[in-house]
Structure 1
Amino acid sequence: MKKLLQIVCTCIAIISFSQAKEVIKLKGNIVNYTEYAYKSIKVIDQREDKQIGEIPFGDNKEMREVVFPSTPAIDFNGWFAKGNDLDKGKVEFVLVLKKLKLSVGESDGKTTTGTMDFSAQTFAKAGDKYQFIYKKDTVFTFNHKEVSEQMVKNIPVIYSAFIKKSYTLDPSDKKITDNDIKDYESYVKANAAALKEEQLKDGIYLSYTSFFDQLPEPGKYNLETNSKGEITKAVKEEDGKKSKISSYKMFAYVEKGKAYKQTFSGFLELNRDEKGFYVTTNRGHLFPVQSNSTYGMFGLIGGIAGAIEQGERQKKMKKQEAEKIYIDPLTGEYDFSGES
């Protein structure tokens, strides 16, 4: 009996050891072309589930576990060192991994659907203090005949785009501790004046940080509209001098305690509930529809056709059902968590 048990345990160990792996190849680069140089990259892995996913590959649909080559810290450090001058910077670039999860769904016989649940944050670190830079929390959707291969191939593409976007942004003025970044979202929500105070301050806000910190532009501004009733600018007159702020430069304005957010379709009412601030609308009113890049293959005529179709698609998007779309207090972006 004892010998049989040993054989069973040995077999289990062999099977576990021989489980097929699909290794993420961190191809491309994460070169920092901006003037703000970082001396190194620090990776903090806060993923609750370190398993990226076990998904089918190839014609035989062989189940393989998707893994980093070694550890995220070692792999991203090597990737960063390949193209960055480590002698230039004095500040450390910090990448916080929150979630990376792959799954494969249904197939129509031609293509299969796959999803990548992605969440990460970046900070700048000088000494023992951190300054927030950027975050992304979303689900990317893929449709492809070889969807597993496509998702794994796109992991470095997504991380590269995310990191390079962070390079272009200025770190927050607020300096926080190691303890604060353990749950930075909760920290921000607990300290954002706009989320704590019952009454918002009237005025013009040029950024999401000034809005959530409740620091409007100094002085009394009056809003001006065009013949259609659309707000075009805010004007302040002091000591015989006029100061103007174009509407497109505003993040939001507050009038009589009521907030209005600048969007692709003009200013929309900004409401608040227990989850935060939100606009009630659809994507068609928030973003211009993306044109089909294939039209570029057909020259000017194709471009015109594309523009016409794009306009029609925009109209269709605006007819979609309105919903609550929240403003992320960490980035000022629309929060589509759980969506692609």
Structure 2
Amino acid sequence: MKKLFQIALCFIAISLFSQAKEAIRFRGNITRFDDVTYKGFKVLDQREDKSIGVIPFGENKEMKEVVFPTTPDNDFKVWFDKGNSLSGKNELVLILKRLKLSTGETDGKKTQGKMDFSTQLFQKEGDKYKFLYKKDTVFSFQDKEVSELMVKNIPTIFSVFIKKAYTLEPIQNAVTFNDISDYETYTKSNYEAFKSEQLKDGIYLDFTSFFNQIPVLGGYTLEKNDKGEVTKAIKIENGKKEKIAAYKMFAYVENGKAYKKTMSGFIELNKNENGFYIIANRGHIFPAQYSSTYGMFGLIGAVAGTIDQAAKQKKMKKEDKEEIYIDPLTGEYDFQD
């Protein structure tokens, strides 16, 4: 009996050791924008779980482990170097938080798949780091060969993410290497909106001014329509009228209470130990024809056509609302699901 047990353990060990692998293929280039150059690219792999996933491939549904060809730092560096002049003064630093693939139920000929994606980008200047962009989300796929589709689109999604950061100005408060290990906690501890019990009344044009609690200067008065909805802010100075249209506002605070601008109007902005949030759903925030996943991430073309097919089947009713947090690092909606 003991011998049979030893043989069984041996077979299990051999099976695990000989697990078939599916390597990510970093094809194409990360196209650089004019006048935006970096001298190098570095990846800091902070994933608690280094396994990307073991998922089924092909008609026989062979289980394969999805892997990087070598290491994340080396693979991204080689890929980045192919399409960039490396003539800049600063480096791009990508912090990889999560990359997990999984498959789910099969509906007809199509199988559901999910990619759990979390990463941040910083601009490194000397020994200091400036935040550029982040994204925490779960992409939903649905296809006959969903595993192949997800692996194929990993480089595409990272490329879109990196190119998105190319278009943004870095946050000006530079931090040390130790601060970027948990940058979100560092940021919250330094934002006035998280430290203060009372928010300052006024108009805020972007998320950084709101979280830093620096409203637009001047005695602006909120103008509302018959329904009590804010349409603009107005001030009269030296006989000259100045106005700020509602669509230009990120939020406003009145009598210490904050209201966040959405495509459906202003929604009350609440705060708890996790951060600032609104009670709403995607239908309140985005028009029906607009995909929040694509809008948040800038996905277009072929990728948009393959992602979020399953999510389209889960439209929320008007009464179905949830806590949707505002990401303090980007000002975007934080859809965890």
Could you tell me how far apart the structure 2 residues matched to 1:91 and 1:243 are? 40
Match of 1:331, SS state, is coil
Task: Tell me the equivalent position of 1:205.
Answer: 204
Could you tell me how far apart the structure 1 residues matched to 2:272 and 2:206 are? 21
Confirm whether residue 127 of structure 1 aligns to residue 131 of structure 2: no
Shift of 1:317: 5.2
Task: Tell me the equivalent position of 1:66.
Answer: 66
Matches within 5 A, 1:117-196: 117-196=116-195
**Aligned Cα root-mean-square deviation (Å):** 2.5
Task: Tell me the equivalent position of 1:306.
Answer: none
Task: Tell me the equivalent position of 1:83.
Answer: 83
Task: Tell me the equivalent position of 1:54.
Answer: 54
**Amino acid aligned to 2:82:** K
Shift of 1:227: 5.3
**Amino acid aligned to 1:40:** G
Match of 1:219, SS state, is coil
Task: Tell me the equivalent position of 2:244.
Answer: 245
Shift of 1:237: 2.4
Could you tell me how far apart the structure 1 residues matched to 2:58 and 2:20 are? 12
Match of 1:59, SS state, is coil
**Amino acid aligned to 2:274:** K
Task: Tell me the equivalent position of 1:304.
Answer: none
Q: TM-score scaled to structure 2, two decimals?
A: 0.86
Q: Deviations over 1:252-277 (max 9, x none)?
A: 01111111111001111111112111
Change (3 A) 1:321 1:10: closer
Could you tell me how far apart the structure 1 residues matched to 2:160 and 2:288 are? 21
Shift of 1:19: 2.3
Task: Tell me the equivalent position of 2:22.
Answer: 22
Q: Deviations over 1:270-328 (max 9, x none)?
A: 11112111111111110112369xxxxxxxxxxxxxxxxxxxx9xx8562412211111
Asked if structure 2 preserves the Cα contact closer than 8 Å seen for 1:252 and 1:259, the reply is yes
Asked if structure 2 preserves the Cα contact closer than 8 Å seen for 1:22 and 1:66, the reply is yes
Could you tell me how far apart the structure 1 residues matched to 2:265 and 2:244 are? 15
After TM superposition, the structure 1 stretch with the greater mean CA deviation from structure 2, 50-59 or 16-25, is 16-25
Match of 1:38, SS state, is coil
Could you tell me how far apart the structure 2 residues matched to 1:117 and 1:15 are? 27
Asked if structure 2 preserves the Cα contact closer than 8 Å seen for 1:34 and 1:167, the reply is no
Confirm whether residue 37 of structure 1 aligns to residue 22 of structure 2: no
Pairs aligned (count): 313
Change (3 A) 1:16 1:213: same
Could you tell me how far apart the structure 2 residues matched to 1:115 and 1:146 are? 13
Q: Which runs of 5+ in 2 are unaligned?
A: 292-311
Task: Tell me the equivalent position of 1:258.
Answer: 257
Asked if structure 2 preserves the Cα contact closer than 8 Å seen for 1:285 and 1:318, the reply is no
Task: Tell me the equivalent position of 2:308.
Answer: none
Asked if structure 2 preserves the Cα contact closer than 8 Å seen for 1:185 and 1:330, the reply is yes
Could you tell me how far apart the structure 2 residues matched to 1:175 and 1:38 are? 17
**Amino acid aligned to 2:257:** K
Could you tell me how far apart the structure 1 residues matched to 2:12 and 2:270 are? 57
Task: Tell me the equivalent position of 1:106.
Answer: 105
Confirm whether residue 289 of structure 1 aligns to residue 288 of structure 2: yes
Task: Tell me the equivalent position of 1:301.
Answer: none
Q: Deviations over 1:53-97 (max 9, x none)?
A: 11111111111110111111111111111111112x111111110
Task: Tell me the equivalent position of 1:296.
Answer: none
- Look at both structures and tell me which one has the larger radius of gyration over its CA atoms: 1
**Amino acid aligned to 1:257:** G
After TM superposition, the structure 1 stretch with the greater mean CA deviation from structure 2, 33-42 or 122-131, is 33-42
Match of 2:181, SS state, is helix
Task: Tell me the equivalent position of 2:214.
Answer: 215
Could you tell me how far apart the structure 2 residues matched to 1:67 and 1:246 are? 50
Q: Which runs of 5+ in 1 are unaligned?
A: 293-312
Match of 1:37, SS state, is coil
Match of 2:177, SS state, is coil
% identity of equivalent residues? 65
Could you tell me how far apart the structure 2 residues matched to 1:255 and 1:9 are? 67
Task: Tell me the equivalent position of 1:303.
Answer: none
Q: TM-score scaled to structure 1, two decimals?
A: 0.86
Q: Deviations over 1:205-261 (max 9, x none)?
A: 111011001011111111123455432221222333332212111100111111111
**Amino acid aligned to 1:328:** D
**Amino acid aligned to 1:18:** S
